[in-house]
Amino acid sequence: MANTFDGKMDKLIVHFAGNKNNGDGVRFSSAETDFEKVEEYFTSLISNSFNFEELYCFHFLPKVELNPVYQFVKTIFDNPAEFVEQTQNVAQLLYDKSNHPKIKGGELQVAHFTGCFINDAEVDAIGFFKSENKETFLKVIASKNGFDLESDKGIAVKKLDKGCIIFNTKAKDGYLVAVVDNTNRGEEAQYWKDEFLAVKPIANEFHQTNEFLTIAKNFVTKQLDDDFEVSKADKIDYLNRSVEYFKNNETFDKGDFERKVFQEPGIINSFKKFDSAFREENDIELADNFDISQQAVKKQARVFKSVLKLDKNFHIYIHGNRDLIEQGVDADGRKFYKIYFQQES
């Protein structure tokens, strides 16, 4: 059963956390916010923004209990009467961590939900939703002669800038946390997941599948032609075979993957060295056998490029069967690809 969000909101509060580097300040609400007219927008925003197969957990060294956000949400779960005070603590911490000059200030909405389902269990949950980018909209105002229009700015209800949902389960292991971050792709992006929330991926089937496909993609695109003489068409073929292996199997076996995708002993050994080094450099722990997540395969397949670009004249999309495309050079030194097909559509 796939994880979906169908919880019922029973608390909401809004604070403002600016950029500490710019001295924007932090402003707290002292009471809960009426959510009766906006709950449906939050439900839609959550459904459109979160992937509940890709889950994280709070962590901190030497123990998770020292993670501030973990302590704030645990207090709310254990004692709902402290909702306002603990959400103020959350907003203050967010402000303290927003010290990169490129971080945008914005409203932090904190909500409590009941009746949420995760891993087939019904639990309550706490959601953080930070709005950094405002949308412009037009207000229609009645006048004596008809209507006037005025522009204003407000919180987007279709796309979430930053957010997380903490499910009240597996507390001793750091809870189950879904995270979204659609802004700040540069150095400053680390503050939401790493500095503020301090979460790490849970090594479930989604994470294992996603990470191994990332390693395979990096090997083919960044390392393979350093060790071997391979054409771009060959590299695309390796990428296609990598994705097809995951699409066509329910379980992953590293040795079987290497034999079927890379085939040649020299390339297999090169991949093994790259895989080991990549895991160590990026602090990744993966099993050599795991169940495959088709949700992760679908996500990764979007970034596995199968396009062969030839100068500015042609793009060739290669979806399979490398034997149907040949590369060569004619008598005049012009490079060419010969493509075989049965039917034109």
| Domain boundaries of the chain, sorted by first residue | 8-202, 206-339
Whole-angstrom distance, CA of residue 17 vs CA of residue 185 = 20
The Cβ-side half-sphere exposure at 256, using a 13 Å CA radius, reads 11
- As to burial, measured by CB atoms within 10 angstroms (0-12 exposed, 13-18 middle, 19+ buried), residue 52 is buried
Q: Are 157 and 43 in contact (CB under 8 A)?
A: no
CB atoms < 10 A from the CB of 160, how many?
23
Enter the tokens of residue 221. Answer: 């695109």
DSSP string, 32-89: PPP-TTTHHHHHHHHHHH--TTS-EEE--SS-GGG-HHHHHHHHHHH-GGGHHHHHHH
3-state SS class at 133: coil
Whole-angstrom distance, CA of residue 345 vs CA of residue 342 = 10
Q: pLDDT per position in the chain (345 positions), as tens?
A: 456 678 899 999 999 999 999 999 999 999 999 988 888 888 888 888 888 888 999 999 999 999 999 999 999 999 999 999 999 999 999 999 999 888 889 999 999 999 998 888 899 999 999 988 777 666 778 877 777 777 667 666 677 889 999 999 999 999 999 999 876 566 566 789 999 999 999 989 999 999 999 999 999 989 998 888 888 888 888 888 999 999 999 999 999 999 999 999 999 999 999 999 999 998 888 999 999 999 999 988 877 766 556 667 666 666 666 666 677 777 777 777 777 667 776
Residue with tokens 């927008």: 41
